[in-house]
């Protein structure tokens, strides 16, 4: 599903009034709370019939980008418009060879004005690459003369449209006057959101630290998955109502369903993918329409197990209501094919990387022959890195060559001279190395996206380290050969913040025979303020449910991730949409529930007592999490 980022200043204010607005005041400057509330209210004054807003309000009356209605991955209608000279054109007339950028504008909005020169620079840079720009002004307060003056002042080259009735802004479901939309040459919306993170209400950086539009265009032109598909856009709120908006025409395979399947299903359900059948063509989709209806209505697919009532997740794989309704409407209508001219660009899966071209690739030395049937023990393979200096990892991806029989791959780091690697989670009295605990580095399961760390963060790969591959194969009736690879993109320089992987776990449990709801709990104490970014729970075949809780120093508790139905077949990574600042003295408590009864169809032996172990017939209860220190050292990176 879509990635959502929120451009924001370096730190968010802590109280309700300041959380609506970051003034960018120097650290240590005190502003009385009454003044802050008045100032925040003053900032929300009407400007040009719109309202000033910053990125995301933590206590806002509504989110500025609601992914369920963001139209990402949808076909954008080929609407007609008039430019400022009264010339009529269509969206398709303005599109470049490779992409079109639609940029919302407002002459009177101060944040929009600041971004004028940035847009002009990007337009000139990408025009030779087959990208065109269209400027859309949906403000009723801007005169045509002021718009013409803006064109001259900034040097915009693309068409400039006055959208007085906000007709086109509503089609795009635009929210602010600084929002940009990237549409590919098949009229599919691929990115929406901020240009970068340089400007907002009350803050202005000398240079941006995240170039969202630039990155989206580079990814699109390179044929890669976009690193970020949607952000909020600091600017003037348009306040448009989308209630009357509906599907522009009846749903067909080519105009709607193909894009939903591409964005959510085809990564696994394709030739050579991990899914049991392909969904790459109209024939495939129509043939499996009844199965699609079943898994969509029962929320079986796409796989996602976090409870809806807890947390907000960047990589949430659930279909939006809009997508579910479109699929079910299409099936109920008899699965019409529609016009092939409405089809999206094909997704190419050639076994290549979704990340940028790796700086280093580590491959299991000998291909492994997976039998057609039976049970295959976990395979462990060591690969030497041989770097003579520490490396910082920005992106990484694990690629099995036989994904259809590869259940999951875990990669651990073992440093030279330290048996078991960097075991920072070891409890007193436990062995130095416990399988699955020490040195966790990377993982993959079917459908999991590659690992891309946020700007300014990276993960350490120590010089001379060994990579320990743990590979779990599941025969599917046909023999296969696998030679898994790990691709890594290094950061250009040491990051401000080092990402570390910790775990709240227990290794000394014993699950009694026949126990249907046996709980095992592990804890991790935070010895300093920490920003937590994601969670990765790990259990085996008797797993039933999993929960992460934060126990704060005052004794209060907060559930941060709840998985009421854990499924060993889908060991997903849960990435927080907004990283969580955890204060020093907080305890992370992870609890796993196990069903060791005969009612569990996956249970290998309900008569056996079960203890900790690496094999599938044994059990684990590990609550991995990724985090970083929010306060970088004066030298730069906080070394793990």
Residue pLDDT, tens place only, 174-192: 999 999 999 999 999 999 9
Say whether 540 sits in a helix, a strand or coil.
coil
309 and 403 share one domain: no
With a CB cutoff of 8 Å and minimum separation 6, the contacts of 443 are 398, 408, 409, 410, 411, 536, 571, 573
The domain of 513 spans 496-640
Residue 578: its pLDDT value, please?
87
Are both 588 and 478 inside the same structural domain? no
Note whether residue 593 is domain-resident: yes
What separation in angstroms does the CA of 237 have from each of 65, 124, 143, 171, 179?
A: 11, 27, 19, 16, 10
pLDDT of residue 31: 28
Q: How far apart are CA 198 and CA 620, in angstroms?
A: 45
Are the C-beta atoms of 461 and 387 separated by less than 8 Å? yes
β-partners of residue 549 are: 559, 589
Instruction: Look at 195 and 6; give whichever has higher pLDDT.
Output: 195
Same domain, 305 and 377: no
E strands present in 255-326: none
Tell whether 191 and 88 lie within a shared domain.
Answer: yes
489 and 502 fall within a common domain: no
Dihedrals phi, psi of 592, to nearest 5 degrees: -115, 140
Task: Say what the pLDDT of residue 352 is.
Answer: 72
- 585 sits in the region (left: phi over 0; alpha: psi -120 to 50; else beta) called left
Q: In this structure, are 231 and 270 located in the same domain?
A: no
Domain boundary residue, one of 495, 523, 557: 495
User: For residues 469 and 177, what is the distance between their CA atoms, to the nearest angstrom?
Assistant: 48
C-beta separation of 420 from 598 below 8 A: no
| Rounded-to-integer distance, Cα 77 and Cα 245, Å | 13
pLDDT for residue 22 is more than 60: no
Whether 254 contacts 337, CB under 8 Å:
yes
Angle between helices 212-222 and 116-126 (to 10 degrees): 20
600-612 per-position pLDDT tens digit: 999 999 999 999 9
pLDDT of 5 higher than 90: no
Q: Does any domain span residue 302?
A: yes
Domain end, chosen from 245, 267, 291, is at: 245
Query: DSSP for 310-353?
Result: S--BTT--PPPHHHHHHHHHHHHTT-----GGGPPPPPP-SS--
The beta-strand segments (E) located in 130-282 are 131-137, 160-162, 180-184, 189-193, 199-200, 203-204, 230-231, 235-237
Lowest mean pLDDT among 140-144, 280-284, 317-321, 414-418: 414-418
41 or 511: which leads in pLDDT: 511
525 three-state secondary structure: strand
**Nearest Cα to Cα of residue 183 among 161, 144, 213, 203:** 213
**Do 18 and 68 share a domain, yes or no?**
yes
Per-residue pLDDT at 461 exceeds 50: yes
pLDDT over 60 (residue 566): yes
Q: Does pLDDT of 59 surpass 50? A: no
Is 403 a residue whose pLDDT tops 60? Answer: yes
Q: Considering 318, 342, 366, which residue would you say is the last residue of a domain? A: 342
Helices 289-297, 321-332: crossing angle, 10 deg rounding: 140
Number of Cα atoms under 13 Å in the Cβ half of residue 480: 21
Residues 19 and 40 in one domain: yes
Model pLDDT, residue 544:
96
**348 lies in some domain:** no
Taking Cα atoms as reference points, which of 383, 384, 395 lies closest to residue 463? Answer: 384
| 321 domain residue, yes or no | yes
280 found inside a domain: yes
Q: How many domains does the chain have?
A: 4
Instruction: Quickly state the pLDDT bin for 227 (edges 50, 70, 90).
Output: confident
In this predicted structure, the answer to whether residue 34 has a pLDDT above a threshold of 70 is no
Q: What is the CATH number of the domain that holds 196?
A: 3.40.30.10
Please check whether residue 386 lies inside any domain of the structure. yes
Instruction: Confirm if 83 and 115 have CB atoms less than 8 A apart.
Output: no
Q: Provide the pLDDT for residue 58.
A: 26
Q: Reduce the DSSP state of residue 275 to 3 states and report it.
A: coil
Position 444 confidence tier, pLDDT thresholds 50, 70, 90: confident
- pLDDT: is 431 or 553 the higher one? 553
The H-or-E segment that residue 271 falls in is: none
Question: What confidence category does residue 347 fall into, taking pLDDT thresholds of 50, 70 and 90?
Answer: confident
**Residue 196 and residue 214 in contact, taking contact as beta carbons nearer than 8 Å:** yes
pLDDT at 243 > cutoff 50: yes
**Between residues 272 and 321, which one has the greater pLDDT?**
321
Q: What is the CATH number of the domain that holds 366?
A: 2.60.120
Q: What is the mean pLDDT of residues 396-411?
A: 89
pLDDT at residue 250 tops 50:
yes
274 vs 514, more confident: 514
Within this chain, do residues 318 and 422 fall inside the same structural domain, yes or no? no
The reply to whether 528 falls in a domain is yes
The counts of H helices and E strands in the chain are 12, 35
Q: Is 260 part of a structural domain of the chain?
A: yes
Shared domain check, 640 and 618: yes
pLDDT tens digit sequence for 570-623: 888 899 988 999 999 999 999 999 999 999 999 999 999 999 987 888 999 999
Residue 415 has pLDDT above 90, yes or no: no
Residues 92 and 185 in one domain: yes
* pLDDT of residue 477 exceeding 80: yes
Looking at the predicted structure, is the pLDDT value of residue 265 above 70? yes
Both tokens assigned to 153: 């002042």
150: Cβ–Cβ under 8 A, 6 or more apart, which residues? 105, 107, 116, 156, 160
| 407 vs 405: CA distance, rounded Å | 6
| pLDDT attached to residue 33 | 28
pLDDT of amino acid 204: 86
Alpha-carbon distances of 615 from 332, 376, 377, 597, 620, rounded to whole Å: 45, 10, 7, 19, 9
The residues, ordered by sequence, that sit 6+ positions from 597 with a Cβ below 8 Å of its Cβ are 514, 515, 516, 603, 606
Mean pLDDT of 306-317: 88
Give, as one character, the DSSP assignment of residue 188: B
Q: What is the CATH number of the domain that holds 503?
A: 2.60.120.230
What is the average per-residue pLDDT within 298-319?
Answer: 88
Q: Is a pLDDT exceeding 80 seen at residue 313?
A: yes
Q: What is the pTM of this model?
A: 0.74
Question: By mean pLDDT, which of 162-171, 238-247, 466-475 is the weakest?
Answer: 238-247
| Angstrom distance (rounded) from CA 618 to CA 377 | 12
pLDDT above 60 for 35: no
Are both 479 and 602 inside the same structural domain?
Answer: no
Token readout for 47 is: 């400007």
């Amino acid at each position: 599903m879509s990635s959502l980022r929120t451009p924001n200043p370096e730190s968010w204010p802590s109280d309700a009034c300041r959380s609506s607005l970051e003034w960018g005041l120097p650290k240590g400057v005190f502003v009385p709370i009454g003044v802050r509330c008045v100032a925040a209210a003053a900032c929300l004054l009407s400007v040009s019939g719109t309202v000033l807003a910053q990125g995301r309000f933590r206590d806002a009356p509504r989110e500025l980008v609601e992914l369920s209605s963001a139209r990402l991955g949808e076909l954008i209608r080929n609407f007609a418009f008039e430019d400022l000279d009264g010339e009529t054109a269509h969206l398709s007339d303005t599109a470049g060879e490779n992409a079109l950028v639609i940029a919302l504008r407002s002459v009177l909005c101060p944040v929009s004005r600041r971004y004028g020169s940035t847009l002009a620079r990007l337009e000139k840079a990408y025009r030779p690459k087959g990208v065109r720009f269209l400027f859309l002004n949906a403000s009723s307060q801007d005169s045509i003369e002021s718009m013409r003056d803006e064109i001259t002042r900034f040097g915009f080259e693309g068409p400039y449209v006055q959208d007085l009735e906000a007709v086109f802004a509503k089609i795009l479901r635009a929210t602010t006057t600084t929002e940009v939309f990237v549409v590919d040459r098949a009229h599919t919306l691929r990115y929406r959101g901020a240009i970068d993170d340089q400007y907002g209400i009350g803050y202005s950086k000398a240079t941006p630290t995240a170039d969202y539009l630039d990155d989206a265009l580079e990814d699109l032109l390179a044929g890669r998955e976009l690193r970020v598909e949607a952000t909020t856009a600091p600017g003037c709120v348009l306040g448009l109502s989308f209630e009357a908006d509906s599907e522009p025409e009846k749903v067909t395979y080519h105009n709607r369903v193909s894009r939903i399947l591409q964005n959510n299903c085809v990564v696994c359900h394709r030739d050579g993918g991990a899914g049991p059948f392909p969904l790459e063509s109209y024939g495939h989709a129509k043939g499996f329409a009844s199965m699609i209806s079943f898994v969509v209505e029962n929320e079986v697919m796409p796989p996602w197990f976090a409870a809806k009532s807890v947390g907000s997740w960047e990589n949430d794989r659930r279909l939006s209501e809009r997508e579910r309704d479109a699929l079910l409407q299409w099936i109920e209508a008899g699965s019409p094919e529609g016009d092939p001219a409405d089809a999206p660009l094909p997704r190419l899966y050639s076994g290549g990387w979704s990340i940028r071209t790796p700086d280093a690739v580590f491959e299991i030395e000998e291909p492994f022959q997976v039998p057609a049937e039976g049970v295959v023990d976990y395979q462990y393979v060591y690969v030497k890195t041989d770097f003579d200096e520490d490396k910082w990892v920005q992106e990484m991806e694990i690629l099995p060559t036989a994904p259809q029989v590869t259940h999951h791959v875990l990669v651990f780091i073992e440093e030279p001279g330290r048996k078991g690697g960097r075991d920072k989670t070891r409890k007193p009295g436990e062995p130095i190395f416990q399988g699955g605990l020490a040195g966790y580095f990377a993982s993959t399961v079917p459908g999991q996206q590659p690992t891309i760390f946020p700007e300014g963060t990276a993960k350490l790969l120590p010089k001379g380290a060994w990579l320990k591959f743990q590979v779990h194969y599941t025969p599917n009736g046909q023999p296969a050969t696998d030679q898994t690879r790990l691709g890594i993109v290094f950061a250009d320089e040491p990051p401000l913040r080092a990402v570390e992987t910790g775990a709240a776990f227990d290794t000394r449990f014993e699950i009694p025979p026949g126990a249907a709801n046996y709980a095992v709990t592990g804890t991790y104490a935070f010895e300093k303020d920490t920003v937590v970014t994601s969670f990765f729970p790990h259990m085996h075949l008797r797993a039933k449910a999993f929960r992460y809780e934060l126990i704060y120093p005052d004794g209060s508790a907060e559930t941060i991730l709840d998985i009421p139905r854990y499924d060993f077949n889908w060991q997903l990574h849960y990435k927080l949409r907004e990283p969580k600042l955890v204060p020093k003295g907080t305890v992370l408590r992870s609890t796993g529930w196990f069903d060791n009864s005969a009612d569990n169809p996956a249970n290998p032996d309900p008569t056996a007592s079960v203890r900790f172990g690496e094999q599938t017939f044994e059990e684990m209860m590990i609550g991995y999490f990724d985090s970083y220190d929010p306060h970088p050292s004066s030298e730069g990176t906080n070394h793990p």
